Structure formats: structure tokens, C-alpha cells
Amino acid sequence: MQQRSTPYTIGIIQMSMKPEPEANMQRAEQLLREAKAKGVQVACLPELFRSYYFCQSENHDYFTLAEPLPGDTTQRIAGWAKELDMVIVASLFERRAAGVYHNTVVVFDADGTDLGKYRKMHIPDDPRYYEKFYFTPGDLGFKNFDTKYGRIGVLICWDQWFPEAARLTAMQGASVIFYPTAIGWHPAEKAEYGEEQWNKWQTVMRGHAVANNIFIAAPNRIGFEPETDGGGLEFFGHSFICDTSGRYIEHADEKFEGVLTAVIDPKKVEKQRQYWPYFRDRRIDAYGKLLEHPSA
């Protein structure tokens, strides 16, 4: 497929969440309109932006937050995309069937067309990140989406730690990979490990940018979100966009709420891949062991 080579402007949204889905939808719309005013053509919201991060506990009541896709929420976001002439990447809690749920991104083209889904492939299970209780692993593989403005890739949060996911997404021709995210600190760990944790999170993705000659854009949420057991997480923000050399274009702290922007130039991606031909030099004949678990 002939890909567009015209530069385009992306925007990632860092925001705090409220308990009520409607409040978050209204705030998301407000920030998308702010993005439009900044010239954004492709915008990405944080992971599971419609609610608090409910995976902090294993609670069957939270399944009521899930919704069919397509549904009322996708119809509403499609309307925003069409009105704003903006591609929108939106992370939603998908109810596929009774007992089968996914952490899913839907990509809307600038005319409101639903271009398809990406279902999160890697599902974590850690203290306060009990996603295996809620989500079935994705079954759609790694995806690219051809939008009005350019070809993009999308992964979700925990996918960030896996170079295989970035490589398989980048190899399909995208100029940028979006990583909608919900990651934060356990409050008791922040003083000792806080800076290390967000630095590690950024560094691994910046490495994906370098190894695949691709732009990376990762929007995170901010703010403390309590849980009914008395605990909670403080989401550390630090959303960023980096170029094909892993250099920051935009970088937020843990308090900023708003839109970060950057210009994506597909010609720069192609040129970098000519000078640094990692894809050419891959030894696919020697990678069979990647399909096996580590051995002692």
C-alpha cells in the first residue's frame, strides 16, 4: 500500500480522572478541542480514560464499566473525530461477551470512521495492577492503521516492556507508535523508587524508538486514585513524545494536565531506516528460540 509521506501533527493527552465516566468523557472532549486548537491531526487519550483505574482490586462490580464495541461511547467519539477532522485513538473497556472482556483501543479516522481495534496483548498481574482478573489477552495481533494523515501503530501500557511488540508493529510501516498508559506509584514506594520507576518506563520506550527508527508517543494519567480497601495509586504522568533517535520532543511532569504535540515526518522515518537498516540486518533464521520460554 502506498503510504502518505506528508508530515502531520500528533497530540497526546495527559489528564486526571474522576470516578464518574461522564465527567471523564466531558474532560476528554474539552482536551481534544484544545488539541484541535493546537493544530493536532492525530490525538491519543490515556489508557481506560473513562474511569478510575479499576484494576487496583479484584471486584466483580467493576465489570459494569465494560461496554460493547461499537456502542454508545464509540459513536460519541466518532462524532468528535468527524467534527474536529481529527484521528482519535481511544482506550476502552470492551465487553465482548458475558465473561469475555478486553482492554481495547479503537482508532477513529478524521471522518468518524471506525478503522478497527487493537486488543492489549500483554496482560499484567501485579499488586494494584490485577488486569488478568478483568482482561482476556488480545487475539487480533499487532496492528497498523491507515488514517487520513498517516499510518500509525498502537500498543497499550504493559506492551511497552516487550521489544517484540514494538518491532512487529513498526515493521508494518507505521511512523509512530502510540502507547496509551495507566501507570503510577504505590505511595509508600514513591520516595525511594519514584524517579527510577518513571525513568525506566520512558527509557524502554525510547529504546524502541531507536531500535525501530520510529516516533513514540505515550500518554499517561495523573493524580491519586483511591481504592475501597483504603489503598490507591498515584499516577505519575511523565507523558512524552520522542523522535526516531529517542530524543524528547515533548515531556511532561507528574502535575501537567493538557496536550503535548509533535510533528511526525514519515520521510524522516524512511531516511533513518536507510542509514540504520536494522530491519535489513535481522537474522530471522536464528530467532526461533523467541517462540520458547527461557530454559535453565
Question: What value does the mean pLDDT take over residues 77-104?
Answer: 98
pLDDT (0 to 100) of residue 95: 98
pLDDT (0 to 100) of residue 114: 98
Reported as a single tens digit per residue, the pLDDT across 197-254 is 999 999 999 999 999 999 999 999 999 999 988 889 999 999 999 999 999 999 999 9
> Does the pLDDT value for residue 15 go beyond 50?
yes
Question: What value does the mean pLDDT take over residues 138-150?
Answer: 98
Gap between the Cα atoms of 175 and 117, Å rounded: 18
296: confidence class by pLDDT, cuts 50, 70, 90: low
Reported as a single tens digit per residue, the pLDDT across 22-71 is 999 999 999 999 999 999 999 999 999 999 999 999 999 999 999 999 99
Catalytic residue among 36, 44, 47, 254: 47
pLDDT (0 to 100) of residue 261: 98
Question: What value does the mean pLDDT take over residues 273-288?
Answer: 97
Task: Determine whether 157 is an active site residue.
Answer: yes
Question: What value does the mean pLDDT take over residues 148-163?
Answer: 98
Domains and CATH numbers, the chain: 8-291 (3.60.110.10)
What residues contact residue 168 under an 8 Å CB cut-off, 6+ apart?
A: 141, 142
Buried-state track 132-166, b at ≥16 Cβ within 10 A, e below 16: ebbbbebeeebbbbbbbbbbbbbbbbbbbeeeebb
pLDDT (0 to 100) of residue 129: 97
pLDDT (0 to 100) of residue 5: 86
Reported as a single tens digit per residue, the pLDDT across 180-200 is 999 999 999 999 999 999 999
Average pLDDT of the chain? 96
pLDDT-above-90 percentage for the chain: 96
**Which residues pair with residue 101 across a beta bridge?**
95
Catalytic residue among 36, 44, 94, 120: 120
pLDDT (0 to 100) of residue 3: 63
Catalytic residue among 44, 55, 143, 157: 157
> Does the pLDDT value for residue 1 go beyond 60?
no
